Every structure is written in C-alpha cells, then in structure tokens.
Structure 1
Amino acid sequence: MPDAYLALETGDVVEANARAPGTARGELVFTTAYTGYEESLTDPSYEAQVLTFAYPLIGNYGVRDERFESDRVHPSAVVARELTDDVADWLRAEGVPAVDGLDTRDLVLDIREGGAMKVGIAAGPEATPADARAQLADCPHMSDVTDVGERVSVAEPEVYGDGDVDVALVDCGAKQSIVDSLVERGATVHRLPHDTTPAEVAEIDPEVLFVSNGPGDPANFEAAEALVDEFVGEVPLAGICLGQQVVARALGGTTEKMDFGHRGVNQPVLDHDSGRVVMTTQNHGYTVADPGALDVTQINVNDDTPEGLDSAEMDVLTRQYHPEANPGPNDTLDFFDDVLAMAESRRMSLAAD
C-alpha cells in the first residue's frame, strides 16, 4: 500500500513510498546527475524546491559530510526511484520528507513537457492525497519566494583563508566549494550576507567583488545588484550561476525563467574564442535573456543560452555553470585563476600609475 502522495500542478496525484515522513511543497525540478547526490542535497540553490533524481538509484556510495556544500539539506523534499537506507536515514534525521517507489521517468517527462511546476507532498502512515493537495494549494511560485536570500545566506560576515587577495563574496547561497576554490588559490575570502551594503563592502576594500550562486529569481536579490552597480569599474567583478544573472541585471541586462532549467553534470558549453566545448555542472532555473553591457563569450550547446559573460574594459567575468562542481567535470577550474588574475592586473595597473 502506498503511504506517500505527490499532488502535481497538472491535477494528477502520484502514489509513492514514504522513506522520510512529513509534508512539503515547492517547485518540482529534476537533476540528471548520477553522482554528487550529497552535494546536490546540500546545495543552497535548491532551497524551496522539491528535487527529483532522474538517475534510478540514489545513495550507492553512502553519505559523508566532507562532501557537503553547506550545513543542511536544502530541498523541501526529495523524490527518487529508489533511495538507499543511508540517504533515507539522513533525510529523516534532517526532517526532510523523502519518497521513492514511483516511476521518476514519467515525472521527469512531465517536467520537461510542462515545465517546472508546483507540487505538494505528504508522506507517512497517516498521509492522504488530500494532505498533498492542501500542500499544493499553499505553494507559492518561485518568483514569489522573496525571503529566499535570508534562508540561505550567512547572517554575519565570515572570513576564510589568509591569502594576499581579498575577495568579497556576496553570499546569495554560496556553495562551500566556491570558497575553497578561492582559498586554495591564495585568496582571503570575506563571506558577506546577501544584503550587505556598499559601505560595508568598502570597509573591506576588496580586490574582487564576487556574487555567488543561489536559489530562485535573481530579481529578489536587489542588494547584491546594488553592490555590482556601486563597484563596477572600481573593483573587478565575478559571478557564478545566480551571480551571473545578478551582474547582468545590474549592468543593463535582463533575466527570464526557463521552462525546466539546467540541472545536471553533463551540460555542454561552447567557448566562442577557443572553439572548445567543455562539459559542465549546472543548477539553475533562470537565465540571462539580454546581457546588457556585457559580451556573451560562452553558450550552452543545447539551447544557446549564455554561459559566460565578460567585459575586459570593466573587469567583469561571470559563468552560469559551476566551475567548482565537486564531483563533476573539472574542465573549467581555471575560471578562478582568471578571476584572481583580474585582481593582479588591476593591482599592477594601480602601481604603475
């Protein structure tokens, strides 16, 4: 007998098995990644979403906290064809509802054909379809989740590393591996709340302003956008994922919601200058529609959406994908070297003056 139910925005109710009890609601999305489930589940970019794994077995190499990207699980609930006991126990301990025993192929096709949709979930011995429908009825659209930055950002500044380049990382939901990638290359990373003011950044006097990844609609990160507007031309700017979208918006561009987004570890990206195609890890539901003052230097091979933006004149460099993805392709780790090289170039230019 099923003891879990998914109420979809289409009106369908899908039966499943409860692996971790509870009720939840959120935007139903899927990832094609077949490894990195620990990283995905602790990625703040999945906040307020229900994550469906397209790969049928999740948990086949256990759960180890050194692989976590943050200190908690971020999806509102988890859906899979089969979850191992290790993962189910972890999600139960985290208080995150989880279900399996359903045909996730059908679910993924629904999302691909109809786009990311709202879903309500009820799981456990007392769960009913009506409980799931009640969750669906209360589910907001992703663009209306305006407090998402507060949910995922640090509350107070934190400092990592002791290098010779000061990086102000605006934490809109930053993955830990972004911090680690910068520290490994000799940076001191000042991890700042998403609503940090220009005056607070100026006190740090950074050599790079870096806007992180994060969940939801970039239009809801107005404070980060204001920082870009304030420091462009004065400090080199960088961004990853939502960070690219925020930077583009601040520099005259626009963003739009995608039908079902890019989520997985095998997204092909073409670099215009080199003609090289690299495989990337991605997790985003919005994209840059108009780059504004920036040049599009890389595109997604599948749908031509912008994957890399830059401006040599303004010292701006951004990526839509995750160069630091771990595990995942490491073809693009040189992005962090290029970001820090902008700081070195600016330092030399100021010394020459």
Structure 2
Amino acid sequence: MTTAYIALEDGRVVEARSRAPGRSRGELVFTTAYTGYEESLTDPSYEEQVLTFSYPLIGNYGVRSERFESERVHPRAVVARELTDDVAEWLTEEGVPAVDHLDTRDLVTGIRDQGAMRCGVAAGPDATPEAAREELSECKGMSEHTDIGAQVSVGEPQTVNADGDGPRVCLIDCGAKGSILDSLVDRDAVVDVLPYDATPTDVRDVDPDVLFISNGPGDPENFTAAQTLVDELAGDLPLAGICLGQQVVAGALGGDTEKMAFGHRGVNQPVRDLRSGRVVMTTQNHGYTVSDPGPLDVTQVNVNDDTPEGLESDELGVLTRQYHPEANPGPHDSLDFFDDVLALADEEEPALAD
C-alpha cells in the first residue's frame, strides 16, 4: 500500500492510503452529500479547497462526463473513507491527489468543532509527513486568494442560445456551475456569459433584461468587479444571484458578509420560506454567508442555523438564493427560482443609461 499524509493546521498529521499521487494544499472542508460526487468534484466553488466526503464510499456508480459541472476537477485534493478505482483513476488523470483508508468521521468532527482549516497533502511513493507539512506551510487562507475568479471564469464573452425566444440574461461567471446555464437555456433564455471582471460598459453593450451573478469560490469581498456592477446597475436592471452571487449583491448594496465556521456543503440542507412556512431541501456549497442584508428583505432562512438563504427587494428588482436551486445533483424542490428570475424581465424597468 502506498502511503499518504495530511498535515492539518491544528498540528496533526493523518496517515492514509494514496489513491492518486501528488502534493497539494488547500482549505480542508467536508460535504455530507452521499450522491453527486461527480457534480461536487467539478463544481468551481471548490477551487483552492481539499474536499472530504463524509459518506464512506465514493464512486459506487462510476464516472460519467455528462454529469460534470465544468471541464475539470476543482478541489486541490480529495479525501474519502474509500474511493472506488473508477474515481481514483479519474483523479489520477486529472492530476488531483486523492487519499482514502482513514477515519473521515474524525476529520469531519474536527472541522465541525474547530472550523475549516488549512492542510497540506502528500500522496504516492515519495510521500512523507515532512512533505505534507511543507505544503501546509505554503497554504493560504481563502480570503488571501484575491483573484481566485481568474481561475474559474470564462476568458472571453460568449452567447448561449442566441436564437432563444426568452429574456436576455447577462450571467457574470464567477465560477458558474454548468447546470445554472442549462436551467436558463431550458427556459429559452438568451444567455450572455461575461467574465468575472466584466465592467458596467460590458453589461450595457449586451443590453440584457436581467443581470445574474453566479456562484463561485472564496471570499465575496474579493469579487470587486461584480460588486461594482451591482452598485452601478441596481435599480436600472433586475438583479439575480446564486450562492456567492447572493453575497456579492448584498455586500454591494450596503450589507455585509462573514466567513462561517465550517459552511454548508451537501444536498440535504433544509430551508424555510418565511412567508409561506414551506420547507424545501436544498443543495449547498458555501463557506461565507450574508451577515447583514442591508436594504434587502430576508425571505428564506436555513432551518439549522437561521442564516439567510433568500434575499429580495421589489423596489430594486432583486432576487437571490444562497443555495443552489439548479438542483444538480438534486433535490428538485426549488427549480421554480429560475422561472421567478426570468419573470423579473417582464417588469417595467428603465433602459440602461449609457
């Protein structure tokens, strides 16, 4: 058995089995999802993180590219109680270190009690505890990745479904999951995908009906260009956002965000709508949350900790969600969010000023 080591910020070094060789580092986080490992591993929101699966067996239904959320694996390394050969071979091809045969319950409870922590990973024939510690010593905190958007965003603008009959949506790609784009196209929207650092002039040139800020990795305060878009266009253009997008919108409009202890990551997070009392199950992947909604109304909250899950403003034409209503890998409780976003385009709004 080839050995692997994980050096943790709390001083521990955990020994494991190497399943995909290499050295890496990142913020150690966990997901409680027991399905959807392909979607999780290709979710750009996991950039610069080391993903631990709390479910004991990962890979029991193989690897199929049609389930991918992007073109590559985004976590810097992968940890599981047991990985199947299919997943291990995929991660080896991707050049992403992976380890198993360790007590992931202990890792998860440690993250739960102490918070997400930096770690270093060394796996393969040459792996040593010292090598893992070296990786840890070079690991940045998530807020220090000031231009993380450049690692996950499109490089050039692109238009998807140009012949669609629905509203025109300008999607700011801060690390968007593919299923968000699919959800809009399925409703016949024309989607102009712009890079994370697009300017207000870039958006005005598109002349969209709705501005949509996507999900993405890291600290929302580092997405200053997206904040500028919201600040300058709010009131002139309906605004929507998912996950990081909700945080960016709230922060730009006078609210505030904060880092959570260990975040919400999984496919079974309960969310309650404050108006209807209805509870839906949701997919989530975020380590930051809105601490002050500013001028926006909190319309949905997490049942477990009361953090804001939905923000709205009729006056400003804002509709955001902290969770992932595109429902990939599931559940499908909140797919109607995209219908509500496109309905924003039907409201009377002034034309964008030059």
Name the TM tier (shorter chain): over 0.9
Matching residue of 1:41: 41
Partner of 2:102, secondary structure, is: coil
The runs of 5 or more residues in structure 1 that have no matched partner are none
Matching residue of 1:102: 102
Distance in 2 between residues matched to 1:147 and 1:291, nearest whole Å = 24
CA drift of 1:345 comes to 2.2
Matching residue of 1:185: 187
The one-letter code of the counterpart of 2:346 is E
Sequence identity of aligned pairs in percent? Answer: 73
Distance in 1 between residues matched to 2:120 and 2:247, nearest whole Å = 29
CA drift of 1:329 comes to 0.9
Matches within 5 A, 1:184-203: 184-203=186-205
* Structure 1 contact 3–18 (Cα < 8 Å) conserved: yes
Matching residue of 1:225: 227
* Structure 2 contact 281–333 (Cα < 8 Å) conserved: yes
CA drift of 1:288 comes to 0.1
CA drift of 1:192 comes to 0.5
Partner of 2:169, secondary structure, is: strand
* Structure 1 contact 5–122 (Cα < 8 Å) conserved: yes
CA drift of 1:186 comes to 1.5
Distance in 2 between residues matched to 1:62 and 1:188, nearest whole Å = 34
Distance in 2 between residues matched to 1:229 and 1:346, nearest whole Å = 20
Matching residue of 2:271: 269
Q: Alignment length, in residue pairs?
A: 349
Distance in 2 between residues matched to 1:327 and 1:29, nearest whole Å = 19
CA drift of 1:325 comes to 2.3
Matching residue of 1:320: 322
Partner of 1:346, secondary structure, is: coil
For the aligned residues, what is the CA RMSD? Answer: 1.0
CA drift of 1:346 comes to 2.9
CA drift of 1:2 comes to 5.5
Matching residue of 2:145: 145
Task: Give me the TM-score of the superposition, normalised by structure 1.
Answer: 0.98
User: Could you give the per-residue CA deviations for residues 207-261 of structure 1, whole angstroms, max 9, x where no partner exists?
Assistant: 0000000000000000000001111111110000000000000110000000000
* Structure 1 contact 2–15 (Cα < 8 Å) conserved: no
Distance in 2 between residues matched to 1:325 and 1:216, nearest whole Å = 21
Matching residue of 2:304: 302
Partner of 2:240, secondary structure, is: strand
Partner of 2:216, secondary structure, is: coil
The runs of 5 or more residues in structure 2 that have no matched partner are none
The one-letter code of the counterpart of 1:165 is P
Distance in 2 between residues matched to 1:325 and 1:283, nearest whole Å = 12
Q: Does 1:30 align with 2:42?
A: no
Distance in 2 between residues matched to 1:110 and 1:287, nearest whole Å = 21
The one-letter code of the counterpart of 1:257 is K
CA drift of 1:102 comes to 0.4
